[in-house]
Structure 1
């Protein structure tokens, strides 16, 4: 199974880039991972967040193959424990899912079209994180899930 992160925006802070690179390397010990970063929509003071979400949503969807299982990260999504995420990953590995695509929107979130295309809408926490921090947290949780599946010592049970 392959993992694909499709996201809006680049990591602007070096500490976020370092953490994302570290955890993405760890994830790649277990599964191939591809990251696709799309440019954020820009606007002035009278910018319309809905317009930005729609435009970014169109570009996100254009990067996802029809047969891909899509997990949209959204603060209103379902909350899973680390163990439940591990089980989810394990089930898809056993079922032979070709690709899981995780989608992270920009500063204004995801469009309705992206949420509708998603097979699962997942929340990383009831707290709100920046879309840049969400990437680091997602990679860490995927890595944690893989260590849980392999019964490795990273996750303290």
Structure 2
């Protein structure tokens, strides 16, 4: 069974989104070993300079590298958008041939370190729109669940 890790930077502060994450984590149990990992964001001043932001992103990238357990997929604005069907193929066909684990990473409010994005196996975007990180994690968990449902040919995806 494949290990699917969702790694986020920053604290989850919305109880209703935490509840949604728990629902999808339970739904994913038959399909994969799912781990949700939260790393703390580096604290910045109220008006951080570009240099301070770059240093924080670099420190966060180091923590991500240590915590990641598999092939890294970075969620970022520069990433490629995939249909649910294409994402299902990536998750259930392509990635298992490459590794027994995959880590999807969502960065802090300033995103991800450019070097980490370059190191990633793939850069992926969920939309051209901007979402709160906690909501993006729920949306990604739903798409992971949907991907397995598509692969199994159930009626979930219409």
Q: Same fold (TM over 0.5)?
A: yes
Aligned to 1:118: 120
TM-score in terms of structure 1 length: 0.91
Aligned to 1:6: 7
Residues in 2 aligned to 1:111 and 1:147: alpha-carbon distance in whole angstroms: 33
Aligned to 1:144: 146
Q: 1:56 aligns with which of 20, 36, 60?
A: 60
| Segments ≥4 residues shifted beyond 3 Å | none
Compute the displacement of 1:64 (Å): 2.4
TM-score in terms of structure 2 length: 0.90
Equivalent residues of 1:52, 1:108 under 8 A apart: no
Question: Matched residue of 1:126: which SS?
Answer: coil
**In the TM superposition, what are the counterparts of 1:128-143 in structure 2 within 5 Å?**
128-143=130-145
Deviations 1:79-109 (A, max 9, x none): 1000100111121365262101111101110
- In structure 2, the gaps of 5 or more residues are none
Residues in 1 aligned to 2:122 and 2:41: alpha-carbon distance in whole angstroms: 23
Equivalent residues of 1:49, 1:108 under 8 A apart: yes
Equivalent residues of 1:76, 1:123 under 8 A apart: yes
Q: Which moved more, 1:7-16 or 1:102-111?
A: 7-16
Deviations 1:114-147 (A, max 9, x none): 1022000000111111221111010000001110
Residues in 2 aligned to 1:5 and 1:14: alpha-carbon distance in whole angstroms: 18
Deviations 1:11-57 (A, max 9, x none): 11011101111112112221001122111111221323323222211
Paired residues, number: 154
Question: Matched residue of 1:125: which SS?
Answer: coil
Equivalent residues of 1:57, 1:111 under 8 A apart: yes
